[in-house]
Chains A and B, each alone.
Chain A
Amino acid sequence: DAKTTQPPSMDCAEGRAANLPCNHSTISGNEYVYWYRQIHSQGPQYIIHGLKNNETNEMASLIITEDRKSSTLILPHATLRDTAVYYCIVRVDRDDKIIFGKGTRLHILP
């Protein structure tokens, strides 16, 4: 499996954009980058995914570098409800198993 590296924690002021980085230097050409988040005491929630191009949905934007070795999840206007652990995941195997790393604990500051 391709590995991902994320900072253990980050702070962001409420109302500002939260930019969460992820390194995946060993990613293969056909592997997607997925982002999930886990709010305390809940199951993880899918946010967004991408292969090469930048992606945007109602929750976030995903910026993938041209060499695909890193990506950034952007929450454009962070709110207190965005406080969670954010996981960057690279597609795994034919059985579609997600192996979660330690993620980034994002604190939104009022």
Chain B
Amino acid sequence: SQTIHQWPATLVQPVGSPLSLECTVEGTSNPNLYWYRQAAGRGLQLLFYSVGIGQISSEVPQNLSASRPQDRQFILSSKKLLLSDSGFYLCAWARQGNVYGYTFGSGTRLTVV
């Protein structure tokens, strides 16, 4: 069966510090991968998606970047965090062509102080 792992679960980082959140998928190959963010009291915002290794598309310009160094690994990064980067970050995967198959990770709650 397929599983998605996301870590850490919670993170408190000072303003200006770097960020690296990792997401890995097991049990499938060539998945579509997605990063979403949910700010407090807000909806889910799609940040990045990837349809293959090294292929990253950004949905909104921001202080964050994403990379896909391996087929089942998706990394969200920042060089210098802002207060506005605080939120609940969710990674998701789906088989290509199967939107109903979106599976989300357990999320990382990031607080920038």
Give the interface of A toward B (CB within 8 A).
32, 34, 36, 38, 41-46, 49, 89, 91-92, 95-103
Check A34–B100 contact: CB distance below 8 A. yes
Least Cβ distance of A32 to chain B in Å? 7
Query: Shortest distance in angstroms between A69's beta carbon and chain B's nearest beta carbon?
Result: 20
Docked Cα-Cα span, A99 to B46, in Å, equals 7
Residues on B with beta carbons closer than 8 Å to the beta carbon of A89: 99
Write the nearest CB–CB distance from A83 to chain B, whole angstroms. Answer: 17
Q: Do A95 and B100 have beta carbons less than 8 Å apart? A: no
Is residue B74 within 8 Å, beta carbon to beta carbon, of the partner chain?
no
Residues in A whose Cβ lies below 8 Å from that of B57: 95
State in angstroms the CA–CA spacing of A36 and B101 once bound together: 11
Instruction: Identify the 5 closest CB pairs spanning chains A and B, nearest first.
Output: A43-B104, A100-B44, A49-B100, A43-B90, A96-B99
- Cross-interface CB contact of A95 among B36, B51, B98, B109, cutoff 8 Å: B51
Prevailing SS type, chain B contact patch? strand
Interface range on chain B (Cβ under 8 Å from partner): 20 to 34
Asked if A32 and B99 make an inter-chain contact with CB atoms under 8 angstroms apart, the answer reads yes
Tell me, yes or no, whether B106 is within 8 Å of chain A by CB.
yes
Contact B102 A46 (CB under 8 A): yes
Contact with A along B89-105 (1 / 0, CB 8 A): 01010101111111111
Known contacts A41-B107, A44-B44, A103-B43; decide if A97 and B34 are in contact (CB<8 Å): yes
Q: When the two chains form their complex, are residues A42 and B32 in contact, meaning their CB atoms are under 8 A apart?
A: no
Chain A min CB distance to B33 (Å): 11
